[in-house]
Structure 1
Amino acid sequence: MKIVINDNMEYGDDMEYKGYKISQEENSIIVENIKDFNAVHTFECGQCFRWIRQEDGSYTGVAKGKVINVSIDDGVLVLKNTNLEDFKNIWFDYFDLGRDYGQVKEAVMKDDIMQKAIDFGWGIRLLKQDIWETLISFIISANNRIPRIMKTVEIIARLYGDELMMDGNKYYSFPDVNKLAQSNVEELEVCKGGFRCKYILNSSQMVSVGQVDLKQLSQMDTDSAREELMKFPGVGPKVADCVLLYSGTKYDVFPTDVWVRRVMGELYFKREAGFGEIQKFAREYFGDLAGFAQQYLFYYARENKIGT
């Protein structure tokens, strides 16, 4: 017996969706014709903290209140523990599948440095993450290492999030604003966030009472959106730009911290460069795609120990 799932599609059937060939097998979606998508590059480039590499090379992660497993090989993307409806409503945008990354690369490949960076991290895709989760995650990231950030975010989810199941294993969604706003610093200290715990609590309360409306940021110009985010404790220009970029809110930002300053000084300026100088350069040189350029450069420099 054939089982219709929707759009007149049946298990085992193929359909075309926005340039991709899609099929569903049980609880998995298979997407063909995928280009410019490498799981390691995407999940380990520093933009996200809830994707864990599995023994088979796939990644299991929690996003948008769902848990899925992702693998990609030879242009075929497999999403397990999901369905066609969620693919259309969540994962198509989350993985930025509507964007031609070939055009992005061509636009930012302005010199030999960018050529090397793009060749190295050719499969990076900028995820469109939940802006609330991204805000808290990057508040935690300040002066912190990725394994510890991941651990803190995971503990917060386990303590305050909703339980999710996949293959008999428990996972936890990132908690909503009110759950964290009703907490206290003592409870949050269990998450090993250190001095950032008070920032997490205060930021949650600011969002909860409407002091800052995260949904309005996409309607603002980039400078105004950055200033709005910097109202949160523990959020400076770099964290604000990370939140804007990794939530898919703004792509003309160029997150810059001390290490990125060293990288840019070594690769482009051949001297020590200031924050404002780098921002001006990125804005004029890469334009509206500065965020993509930063991510290729960041990943290339980190993996090759440039600027250390």
Structure 2
Amino acid sequence: MNITEINNGLILENVKDFNVTHIFDCGQCFRWNKEDNGSYTGVVKNKVINVSQNGSNIIFKNINIDDYENIIKSYFDIDTDYSDIKKSINKDDIMGKAIKYGEGIRILNQDEWETMISFMISANNRIPMIKKVIENLSKNFGEYICTYKNKEYYQFPTPKRLSESSLEKIKDCKAGFRSERIKEAAIRFLNEKDIIYDLKNRSYDEGLEYLKTYKGIGDKVANCILLFSMKQFYTFPVDVWVRRVMQTLYVDKNTSDKEIRQFAENKFGKLSGYAQQYLFYYARELAIGK
């Protein structure tokens, strides 16, 4: 892979296993939106980044070479060999088809705090509404970053800012019944952030049980947080689409979410999280089991 600097951006040449649509539309993130030209614009930390693709070349705009080292390389998991991962989890024809369909998926390394609140908002919610609530929270409580393509962008709000906010102002962001949970999580996070940021170094079971002590975090949300921000790839989050694809192609219709997760973890082991992403994208895009 080569890196070429361009005006206000970078080109990563000959990148394997990278497809912008697969990455941003596989259910793992909510702050990336598709532009009219097919590129995606999103916020990572304090940067607004535009990403597009020309074959195996990935074009990043509104960043520089320092941002590649400080943000891009880790966030987009550039150093991980996804070819090896796909070979390891390709255990049957079903998984083979799912991998082929979403061959360019990469699991992003997202911030624990932002991921935690984002997936609390995601519970029993539709993606457009999830995105809107997160955008509202960022605009009302986050620091202004810049205006890009005629749109203002803001950082995700800090736990301190949300903890000090009135419940009414959080509710004004259309967070609904989740507003109290968000404020409570922010207050608690300030005292326990060292525990949160250390969960990637703890066992999967420890992380799961700890996260579930927060109001509004059940099995599915906890597993999403562990997978998308804490590098716990043993986990296998089960949402409506994963349930449908598993009950249609792998297990009986009456199989519970817990049993589905156990089946997948036994089958795919320490790479279960990667398998979940290919299956989720495959199921949702093709409406499997609907």
- Residue 73 of structure 1 is matched in structure 2 by 54
Deviations 1:209-235 (A, max 9, x none): 227721111121000001111111100
* Structure with the larger helix share: 2
Deviations 1:183-224 (A, max 9, x none): 121110111111011111111111012277211111210000
Structure 2: 5+ residue stretches without partners:
none
- Whether the 8 Å contact between 2:31 and 2:42 is mirrored in structure 1 is yes
Q: CA deviation at 1:249?
A: 2.4
- Residue 261 of structure 2 is matched in structure 1 by 279
- Whether the 8 Å contact between 1:212 and 1:228 is mirrored in structure 2 is no
- Residue 159 of structure 1 is matched in structure 2 by 140
- Whether the 8 Å contact between 1:206 and 1:212 is mirrored in structure 2 is no
- Residue 89 of structure 1 is matched in structure 2 by 70
- Residue 5 of structure 1 is matched in structure 2 by none
| 1:125 maps to which of 100, 106, 112 | 106
- Residue 235 of structure 2 is matched in structure 1 by 253
- Residue 298 of structure 1 is matched in structure 2 by 280
Classify the secondary structure of the residue corresponding to 1:194: coil
Structure 2 Cα separation of the partners of residues 51 and 107 of structure 1: 29
Structure 1 Cα separation of the partners of residues 193 and 68 of structure 2: 33
- Whether the 8 Å contact between 1:203 and 1:232 is mirrored in structure 2 is yes
Deviations 1:51-75 (A, max 9, x none): 0100110001011221110011111
CA-based RMSD: 1.4
- Residue 235 of structure 1 is matched in structure 2 by 217
Structure 1 Cα separation of the partners of residues 135 and 230 of structure 2: 22
Structure 2 Cα separation of the partners of residues 194 and 306 of structure 1: 31
- Whether the 8 Å contact between 1:108 and 1:286 is mirrored in structure 2 is yes
| 2:95 maps to which of 114, 133, 146 | 114
Q: How many residues align?
A: 289
- Residue 175 of structure 1 is matched in structure 2 by 157
- Whether the 8 Å contact between 1:69 and 1:81 is mirrored in structure 2 is yes
- Residue 25 of structure 2 is matched in structure 1 by 44
| Structure 1 residues 272 and 92: alpha-carbon distance in aligned structure 2, compared to 1, 3 A threshold | same
- Whether the 8 Å contact between 2:43 and 2:155 is mirrored in structure 1 is yes
Structure 1: 5+ residue stretches without partners:
1-19
Structure 1 Cα separation of the partners of residues 35 and 243 of structure 2: 34
Letter matched to residue 83 of structure 2: G
Classify the secondary structure of the residue corresponding to 1:170: strand
What's the TM-score, normalizing by structure 1?
0.90
Structure 1 Cα separation of the partners of residues 215 and 170 of structure 2: 16
Structure 1 Cα separation of the partners of residues 224 and 149 of structure 2: 33
Percent of pairs with identical residues: 47
Structure 1 Cα separation of the partners of residues 199 and 230 of structure 2: 11
- Residue 14 of structure 1 is matched in structure 2 by none
- Whether the 8 Å contact between 1:261 and 1:272 is mirrored in structure 2 is no
| 2:11 maps to which of 19, 30, 35 | 30
Higher CA-based Rg: 1
- Whether the 8 Å contact between 1:71 and 1:77 is mirrored in structure 2 is yes
